[in-house]
Structures are given as structure tokens and as C-alpha cells.
Structure 1
């Protein structure tokens, strides 16, 4: 019953098979291999446009490199206060950009609104005394498992264009958002105004592979130098390309995300029946954030369940935990077993009933 993260699970068997096949014989190095070329072609077809694709092994690398391609050292990046680039990447975006400033914006459910972005940009001082607006970064699905609708992305992109900002999308759980929204990938990215996407595969069943997708292909001119200089160019790039190619084969990326989302939905249904449990944030992808009575929270952990207590910073103040409550984060994955979900639900319901008696 491990719902701590989608990173706690292993690798899809299809990925391991693909890596074993790629391991045979010799191959051109540094990303010029046939698997990487095929992955780029297939991603271009998926997004229905010409793209430039660069593979890296980590989400932090993908995000930091994406922002470095868009942002000068004297620039700024508008992002949510609870975003991964703000609190979980150890200053990598600032390092890779050469010192650009991250500007934090609040928003319920882990999402920024166009009006909040506009307000943040309007607060900038006179040039050249303040940093230059350069980029906006949104997370899809967000750190609180919510999704940006097409109209919301379009509105943020329009604000960005008026202020000279490009739009980056942190898509560590992009597949889960696509499944939740039942959207074409093109419709929630470049057609809505996204310039660069960090397309995550690791959380969705890969061993370690992320794709930086440049819809603004002009950014590709210097990107190879950024990737090399920051240590993210793999010499044996075929093992990244093979993973992405396998994820796209027969829509494995969609099948894995569909399962993860379904397990989250079932957890939500079961926990909603427990006395004193409430959900301040809609469950739209594969993360859920129930507010639990603290005795129930502690009893579940004592019984061997694994999940995190979480910061309510991305939740509207009125919906945050009150005295005697705690907000948890639970994450499901491509490998979450139905029987583990049902066992956890039964345990929670039994403990909830016993605590109430």
C-alpha cells in the first residue's frame, strides 16, 4: 500500500524489453541513433507539427534546460509558489539560466490564473532596474493533481505574449493530464500558446527519460550547447531514445496514465466514504490530497500504509486543515495494484468506523 509517489514503482516491462533490444550491437552515440530519431518523428506526429526534441534523463534537467533556452540571466520566470521549479529543484533553474529570478504566484489547486500572472507582471519596476519578464511556467498536471483547461492555458499565454514572455509547461505528469482532459496533446500545448514542453516519461513507467519539446524551433539553435554544458548529453543516447520510442509504441504512455488515473479515482471514491475525510482539491489526475482526522492519518501509517503529510500551501485558505486534521498526499502509478487500493480503502474505512465508535 505504497502511495508515496509514482517514483516508488519500477519500470514498465515494455521499457525493459526495449532497453534490452537497444543493448545489442553498436550504435551511433550522443543522440544520433535510430531510436532517438524515430522518437522525434513519432512525437512530431503526436503533436501534429514540426518540433525539435532533446532527451535528458531527469525532470529537473528538462525543466531547467527549457527555462535556460527561454530566459536570459537578467530575466524572470513567473511560476506557482508550490511548483516543482520553485521548491524542489535546488535552484537548478536559476543555475542553468545564469541567475534568472523566479517570481512566485499563488493560486488555489496549484494553478495560476491569467489575472494572477498579469498582476505579477504589472508589479515589475522600470527597466533596466528590475529583471526582464522572459517566461511563464505552468505545471500540467499541477503539483496538486489539477489540470489546466485549454481556455486557461490560452489566457495565460495571451498575457505572456503582451509582456514578451514565452510559455513553458512542466509536463512531468503530462500523460495523466492528457487522459484526464481527454484532449489532443496539440490542443493543450502549442495550439494553446505553449512554446516549450518538458514531457515526462519517468513517472509514467520509464527508467529515466524526459523529452524537451521545442515548439518554437528557433530555440533549438543553441539548445545542444546548453545540454552539453550542463552535463545532460548522454553519450549512449540510444538508451534514452529507446525508452521514449517504446513509451509511444501502441500508446503505452496513455495506457499507463489511464491506469494510474483510474486508481486515483477509486481511492477518492473509497476514502470519500470515511467519516471526517474531505477533499479540498479536485482529483483530476493521479494525485489526491485528502484531509484526514489526525488519528486516522496516524493509524493508517502505523498499519503500514505509505503516503506523505503535505503542505496545504496550494489550497484555498478556507479549505485548509483545521485543528486535529492533516492533509495527505497520495499518488497512484502505472503499477499500482487494484488489490492494494481496495485493501487501503477497507483499512481506512474500518479504522474510521473504529475511531468514530
Structure 2
């Protein structure tokens, strides 16, 4: 009898294992529904909470989000010190919901002691809870050295700082350049949000400034920095400014194993592509599921209507969930089209919305 039992299992095992494999594949292919939005833990890895107003965190809690607030050397925001004060407050009072990235000033760059002072600032912020450091597009597009030359992200003056970040396992969030639309006339831009932004900020509309570096030159500088710092975790903000082409984003990720990208403020450009080739965009997200982080660029500044912001944040988060997680179609005004959702598998959504950010920002050996 024992022999017969063993023989039966030997014959049945391939069938059972095949069935289990099929079930596993089916489970991996399952998708979330719109109704699952609030039940799934999520991280928005690119927001700006620049005021001590609880409305942002209240909405994040309602929609089951943690947030990563990114301090940035941006003249339209409060000062770097004021941003840091807000970040310190929420890092202390809401450590399970709020996380932040620090930044540094370019004042004194190229002068003796700048790198050491900057490293000291970074170390102090990390002790206060910072999980990353942000550099903005002012590097490459605004800041100039003593001779009046633009300072680029691959300048050797940054080497001590970036080497230090790599040594202490703190990621660099890099916003270099602008959307490709920035180098086009307003009427040729592919999305309404870019048309509105660059109409309002002509100082950053590079089509109007042929004396400034080209898009290709800025991307080459960023790529050179990533290549020169292979041990540094580089987070390409805003789809690494490659939002116009998932093919180009794929080339960037293939060339730089130390890089990931996040989606902040570039969903419309992605949707513009998926309306034209849905399968290619969906395949990109699945292929690079370990290298993509969810982010929005939602911003709450002092004096703004906090309750209106809450509704806006909920609408953005809900719309993005519909697009990424479900197969539902929705009208996207920024591209004047209906965009069908990508219906990414649950396992992919879980990575993009949470697991990847946790690995990149919260896995330092000393955390």
C-alpha cells in the first residue's frame, strides 16, 4: 500500500505542481479595483509640505498614504531653513506618516570649505530624520560660478558631497532639466499643464532662451553624474526628465543600475503616450516595476486654502490610482483625451506605490 501511495503521488505531483504554478501566475496577474484605493498602503514619494498645517497629513491618512516631503532651493517656496523647520516638526510628531528629503544651498559653491559645510548640513538633517537629499534644476539652469559660467551637476565640486551621500547610504533626488516640452513652442507642447506652466514661467521656457544649454546637454550632464557615482542611489525626479518617451526612460535605467525614477507631475505625459500605444507603456511599467516610484508633486504652501488642497490631493491620488491600478477609462483634461487605465498587476502596484520607496529611502543599515 505504501508503494502505491508513493507511486500515485509521483504520478500526480507534476499535475499538482502545474496547478499550483497556474494559481501563482493567476494571483500575480490580479489587479486592484477603484474601490481598493483606500485599503492599500501607499507612499507618495514626491510632495512639498511647506507649512505647519495638518490638512496634508489628514488627507494622507484618509487616503492611506505616507508622504515624502522634499525640501528644495526654489525661490517661490519658503526659505530652506523654513522648509526644514516644518519638516523637523512633522518628522517628530508624525514619524509613521511623514518623511522628508533635505537640500542644501549653492551659496559659496566653489569656495574653500563649501563641501565640508554642506556635508555637515546633510549629516545634521539625517540625524533629524532626513531620508534623502534633493538637488534642483537651478543646477545647470540658474547657478553660476565666479566667472559667470553655469554650474552643472557633474561639476567636480560636487564630488565630495555625492561621495559622502553614497558612503552614508543616503539617496540623491535629482531634478535636472525640464520636460522635453520646455524646448518646444507653446503651441507644440503635448500637455496643457506644460503649456500653462511655461506660459507662467518664461524664465524656465528654454525655447525662448537659445543661449541656454540644450535638453540633450543637460541630460548628458546628469547621466555623467550618475555614471561617475555608481555607489550613489540616484532618484530621477519627474521621470528623470524623460517623461516624453518610455523608450528613453528605459535606456536611462538600463545604463544606470544605481538609478530609479519617480512619476511626480508627469502622469499626463505618460498618459499622452499610452493613448497612442497602450501596450508599450504598460509593458514599460511591468518591465521596470522595481525601478519606478509613485509621486505627485502635490504642494501646500503658507497661506493657501488647506481644505481646497485636501480635495485636490484626493482627486489627484484617486485619478492616478484609476490610471495605474485599474483598466477604467477617464477623461484627462491635460491631454484632451480619454485615457484607459494600465491595469497593472497587484504585485507591480504594490512595488510602485510602496515597496520600492521603502527599499530606496528606508533601508539604510543604521535605520
TM-score by length of 1: 0.32
User: Relative to total residues, which structure has the larger helix share, 1 or 2?
Assistant: 2
Greater relative contact order (CA < 8 Å, ≥ 6 in sequence):
1
